[in-house]
Structure 1
Amino acid sequence: MAGLDAFADALDYPMYVVTTAAGGEQAGCLVGFASQCSIDPPRFMVWLSKANRTYRVGRRASHLAVHTLRPEQRGTAELFGGRTGDDVDKFGRVAWWPGEGAVPVLSDCCAWFVGRVREHVDGGDHVGFLLAPVAESPSGPVRPPLLRFGDVVDLSPGHPA
């Protein structure tokens, strides 16, 4: 739909790294389709491409972690957005620790939360994971600028969307 493309092209939404773990596997990817979707109860929806390894692992997972990045963390965005976990151990290249549900929580990010997967919603080529937050990073004294779509628009994805 050309009208939606024009609308979406005008957006410069934040980018997130989403990580998960299930069955002894870890996965993570760069995500642009994500948003808070409820205040009470608090809920956040993350959309993962069906072509993505993170989707395949995430479908079996009880939790996902959602991380924000600063603009200077483009290298982390390139690792999680431009490489596939089918070929590269992404978690061998970044500092992390196991969070709730054993999901990898990236040590060097602006903010993060871990959410329990409450529901899956098929949206076409992406599936929405409705998350109920169960753990979160401490609040910082200032709101830092975030890595945005315009900062990574030139990345070649590790998998097609």
Structure 2
Amino acid sequence: MNPDTKRKVLQLFPSPIFVVGCAHEGEVHAFGGSWMGQCSFDPPILWIGVRKDSRAHSLLDLGRPFTINILSAEQVKVARVFFKPPTPTEGRFGTIPFHLSPLGAPILNDCQAWAECVVRDKASPGDHTLFFGHLTGCGLNGAGAVLTTVSSGMKYGG
């Protein structure tokens, strides 16, 4: 298989751009993601893909909460903050306002929608771990198009 063709084909899959928030023992963290989905109606289960060598990977574990913050199509600049390393002066969130979910994971104040989950299971088939979260809460702050890999020009995959 041609590696360049494989990368180009896999990057054609449209995915949402979102921000995952997590917290453990007083540390609040967030990162940008594009691998997620729903995999069960009853109970409602969502999954996220997390790189194994990331800080977030060490904060996520069975029984711990996380949030998925869905961004609007206009929030490309917000997304870019969470795809870069944190700055020493502004920290992980910079000037982006957030509050904590009922279970303690960060929710971006201006996200279009959010979902709160508790890690129920995980699988590690490759260089990313899939964390499966039971949906415990959600909220809707707006309507309209959501930010995607296609609409933003951001690419992760291949």
Contact 2:60 2:119 in 1 (8 A): no
TM-score of the two chains, using structure 1 as the length reference:
0.83
Contact 2:86 2:93 in 1 (8 A): no
The CA deviation at 1:42 is 0.9
Give structure 1 regions of 4+ aligned residues with deviation exceeding 4 angstroms: 1-4, 85-88
Can you list the C-alpha shifts for 1:103-156, whole angstroms capped at 9, x where unaligned? 11111011001001101211211111101111100475xx4111111314269x
Given the alignment of the two structures, is residue 66 of structure 1 paired with residue 68 of structure 2, yes or no?
A: yes
Q: Which residue of 1 aligns with 2:52?
A: 50
Contact 1:28 1:85 in 2 (8 A): no
Work out which of the residue numbers 17, 24, 32 in structure 1 matches 2:19.
Answer: 17
The CA deviation at 1:39 is 1.2
Work out which of the residue numbers 127, 132, 135 in structure 2 matches 1:133.
Answer: 135
Q: Which residue of 1 aligns with 2:84?
A: 82
The CA deviation at 1:50 is 1.2
TM-score of the two chains, using structure 2 as the length reference:
0.84
- Please tell me the residue identity of whatever aligns with 1:10: L
The CA deviation at 1:72 is 1.5
Q: Which residue of 2 aligns with 1:116?
A: 118
Given the alignment of the two structures, is residue 100 of structure 1 paired with residue 102 of structure 2, yes or no?
A: yes
Q: Which residue of 2 aligns with 1:149?
A: 149
The CA deviation at 1:87 is 8.1
- Sort the Cα spacing of 1:60 and 1:39 in 2 relative to 1 into closer, same or farther, 3 A: closer
- Please tell me the residue identity of whatever aligns with 1:148: T
Can you list the C-alpha shifts for 1:49-90, whole angstroms capped at 9, x where unaligned? 112211122237711100110122111111111224788512
The CA deviation at 1:91 is 2.8
| In 2: Cα distance, 1:48 partner to 1:87 partner | 26
| In 1: Cα distance, 2:22 partner to 2:60 partner | 6
- Sort the Cα spacing of 1:27 and 1:61 in 2 relative to 1 into closer, same or farther, 3 A: farther
Contiguous gaps of at least 5 residues in structure 1: 156-161
SS at 2:56's partner residue? helix
Contiguous gaps of at least 5 residues in structure 2: none
SS at 1:137's partner residue? strand
| In 2: Cα distance, 1:60 partner to 1:101 partner | 14
More helix by share: 1
- Sort the Cα spacing of 1:61 and 1:74 in 2 relative to 1 into closer, same or farther, 3 A: farther
Aligned length: 153
- Please tell me the residue identity of whatever aligns with 2:41: I
| In 2: Cα distance, 1:144 partner to 1:103 partner | 25
The two structures, once aligned, show a CA RMSD in angstroms of 2.5
